């Protein structure tokens, strides 16, 4: 019998690994290759992989590293398909050169370390499950990246990561603290529907293309201070469970906060910089912004924020009158009632 793994891609029917039938592992009435062997069978029976100690885990990882190095060393090699691979413990890809690769539906039972890894082609982590730490700090992605519906169970870091093309985190879930601080997104980035249970940081991130945070759910603080949006930024229907910090954030194009809900403080203020300072206040202006139907549950401040184009506060609800001290408006704008 072949490996019981069912490939998530419609054009692939099953396991892609060349494993001899005699090397397959029987578990709860099914047979599995060592790569796709789950930690337990469909009846809950623990698999041999569940008992792996440090040495067997290292041996398993070495097999994966060999596949990666072989694929990365062959120009024009097909995408390396590691879909559905079950990693039994920690695995360290730090500094490794990665080919175009599929980790979709893979399961990392220990920490996954991709810091400073170089992804030379497209990379998919769609529906991947990280049960523990996931570190992509300073990783570089040359091709498109897909983290759609990925689950991050531990602390997650994309600090200083570089994304050269379209990047998707649509529907991703973060159970612990996550940081994208000082990351660079050169292309479109889609984080629509993301769910984070703890603090999330986009401090000083550079967004070169359109950025979508529509329908996100930030359970705790969401930090965007000093971030730069080079194209449209969409936060429609976003939920901010605690403080939303956009202090000194730059918006170079339309910003949409329609129907967003803020259950903590909302800070869109700008520090009154010296004219020679970087970035100058003018670069922190809203070019055109919609807060239509937004609900602000605590203190809201726009202090010293320039509004250089039409601004729409229609149907806004403020529990506390917003602070507009030092703001400048390009044209007549219907300000929120009771604004200070």
pLDDT at site 218:
98
Residue 172 lies in a domain: yes
- Per the domain annotation, does 76 fall within a domain? no
Confidence label for 22 from pLDDT (cuts 50, 70 and 90) = confident
Examine residue 18 and state whether it is found in any structural domain, yes or no. no
- Which pLDDT tens digit goes with each residue over 100-150? 999 999 999 999 999 999 999 999 999 999 999 999 999 999 999 999 999
In a domain, 179, yes or no: yes
Beta-strand ranges (E) seen in 9-116 are 25-27, 30-32, 80-81, 86-87, 91-92, 97-98, 101-102, 107-108, 112-113
Report yes or no on 222 lying in a domain. Answer: yes
Helix extents (H) in the chain = 54-72
Please give the angle made by the CA atoms of 60, 66 and 68, to the nearest 5 degrees. Answer: 110
pLDDT of residue 300: 96
Q: What number is the average pLDDT over the span 288-297? A: 94
Specify whether the CB–CB gap between 85 and 63 falls below 8 A.
no
Question: pLDDT digits over 89-101, tens only?
Answer: 999 999 999 999 9
Q: Which domain holds residue 314?
A: 90-329
Q: What is the pLDDT of residue 78?
A: 79
pLDDT in tens, 230-286: 999 999 999 999 999 999 999 999 999 999 999 999 999 998 864 445 555 557 889
State the CATH number of the domain containing residue 104: 2.160.20
pLDDT in tens, 170-196: 999 999 999 999 999 999 999 999 999
Check pLDDT > 90 for residue 225: yes
**Looking at the domain assignment, is residue 273 inside a domain?**
yes
Residue 13 banded pLDDT, cuts 50, 70, 90: confident
Do the domain assignments include residue 33?
Answer: no
168-183 in b/e form (b: 16+ CB < 10 A) is: bbbbbbbbbbbbbbbb
Instruction: Give a yes or no: residue 136 inside a domain.
Output: yes
Note the pLDDT tens digit of each residue in 196-223.
Answer: 999 999 999 999 999 999 999 999 999 9
Total number of domains in the chain: 1
Angstrom distance (rounded) from CA 165 to CA 213: 17
């Amino acid at each position: 019998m072949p490996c019981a793994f069912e490939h998530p891609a419609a054009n692939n029917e099953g396991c892609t690994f060349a494993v001899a039938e005699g090397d397959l592992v029987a578990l709860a009435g099914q047979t599995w290759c060592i790569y796709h062997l789950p930690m337990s069978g469909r009846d809950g029976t623990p698999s041999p992989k569940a008992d792996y100690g440090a040495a067997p885990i290292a041996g398993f990882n070495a097999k994966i590293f060999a596949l990666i190095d072989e694929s990365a060393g062959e120009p024009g090699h097909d995408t390396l398909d590691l879909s559905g691979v079950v990693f039994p413990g920690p695995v360290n890809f730090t500094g490794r050169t990665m080919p175009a690769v599929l980790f979709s539906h893979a399961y990392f039972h220990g920490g996954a370390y991709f810091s400073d890894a170089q992804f030379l082609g497209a990379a998919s982590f769609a529906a991947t499950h990280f049960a523990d730490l996931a570190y992509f700090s300073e990783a570089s992605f040359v091709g498109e990246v897909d983290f759609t519906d990925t689950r991050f169970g531990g602390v997650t870091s994309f600090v200083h990561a570089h994304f050269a093309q379209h990047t998707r985190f649509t529907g991703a879930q973060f159970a612990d603290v996550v940081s994208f601080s000082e990351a660079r997104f050169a292309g479109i980035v889609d984080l629509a529907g993301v769910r984070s249970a703890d603090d999330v940081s986009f401090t000083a991130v550079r967004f070169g293309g359109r950025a979508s945070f529509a329908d996100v759910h930030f359970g705790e603080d969401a930090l965007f201070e000093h971030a730069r949006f080079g194209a449209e930024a969409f936060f429609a229907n976003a939920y901010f469970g605690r403080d939303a910090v956009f202090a000194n954030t730059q918006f170079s194009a339309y910003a949409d906060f329609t129907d967003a809900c803020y259950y903590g403080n909302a800070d869109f203020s700008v520090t009154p910089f010296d004219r020679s300072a970087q970035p100058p206040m003018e670069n922190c202006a809203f070019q055109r912004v919609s807060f239509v139907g937004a609900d602000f549950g605590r203190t809201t401040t726009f202090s010293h924020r320039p509004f250089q184009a039409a601004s729409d506060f229609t149907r806004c609800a403020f529990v506390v009158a917003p602070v507009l001290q030092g703001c400048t408006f390009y044209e007549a704008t219907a300000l929120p009632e009771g604004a200070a």
